Structure 1
Amino acid sequence: MSTMRPDLRSPQHSAGFGLVAALFLMIVVTVIIVTMAHLSATQHGISSLAIQQARAYQAARAGLEWGIARALEDGACPAGSLNLSGSLSEYSVAVTCTSSAYMENTSTVAIYRLTATAQNGTPGSRSDYAYRQLTAVVER
């Protein structure tokens, strides 16, 4: 009596290999898609923060220019807050000033140190919070 050994290369034994390969390919493609979606969301967040930082800089610069103009025109140390419009309307801008004077020959020279601070909310109040502070020294 001869015993028949099953042939390992028969279609019955290799049918499961295609299923394993298909599942592996599906898992790899799914991981790639999830990773790309995560990277896209991260990139969007970084772009949003960069835009908010640029706006905060422009808002602080507007406050600083306002303070410089007041100091040069009025000869007084300006301080206060600004209400901006347009895309900068969400930013609060505070301008502070300190002054000192000294004598040069026969005239008095005034030095104004201006600081403009711009922010859109308070730290932790929003995910795209931005803060910028600029300082300038003006002589009159």
Structure 2
Amino acid sequence: MSTMHPESRQRGFGLVAAMFVIIIIAAVIAAMARLAVTQNSTNSLAIQQARAYQAASAGLEWGLFTITRPFTCGEAAPTTAVVTSFVLDGFTVAIPELKPSASQLIEEEDTVTHYFYTISATAQSGNVGDLDYAHRKLEAVAEVSCKQ
């Protein structure tokens, strides 16, 4: 055995270190890709929810329009919207019913009937369980006065 070239038992350490670095970098890249996909789907869902809110708001406005149309005092208060459902840019908007409750007040010499309506509107796009499913339900209370 020569003393000039001692036999080394530590061969191949550079290969192990290189494999370790490659695996760590691959794991970091995979985690970043997963984070990017999650962030993109979260933004998409937030946009769908905002669109569902606007569609339900349009349904509420339609219900308010239905009850504020002039009707003759003494006739029955409207209990259904003229159109109870419609499609708005991919969202099905439903206005199931208008629920009136009447109360009468006597003001000086006139009798005033106040109709209080609970209006609900639901907007939905897609089916439950779909990735882009969005659903919003809004409710409002409105008052319509009628002098007799």
2:6 maps to which residue? 7
Q: Which runs of 5+ in 2 are unaligned?
A: 72-77
- Whole-Å Cα distance in 1 between the matches of residues 33 and 140 of structure 2? 43
- Whole-Å Cα distance in 2 between the matches of residues 90 and 108 of structure 1? 39
What value does the CA root-mean-square deviation take over the aligned residues?
Answer: 1.9
- Whole-Å Cα distance in 2 between the matches of residues 33 and 74 of structure 1? 64
Q: TM-score, normalised by structure 2?
A: 0.79
For these two proteins, the number of residue pairs brought into alignment is 130
Q: Which runs of 5+ in 1 are unaligned?
A: none
- Whole-Å Cα distance in 2 between the matches of residues 122 and 38 of structure 1? 25
Aligned residue runs from structure 1 range 1-140, under 5 A: 7=6, 13-75=9-71, 76-79=78-81, 80-84=84-88, 89-95=89-95, 96-105=97-106, 106-124=111-129, 126-140=130-144
Which deviations, in whole Å up to 9, do the C-alpha atoms of 1:43-77 show, x marking residues without a partner? 11111111111111111000001111211124423
- Whole-Å Cα distance in 2 between the matches of residues 55 and 48 of structure 1? 11
The percentage of counterpart residues that share the same residue type is: 45
Give the structure with the larger strand fraction: 2
Give the structure with the larger helix fraction: 1
Residue identity in the other structure for 2:92: S
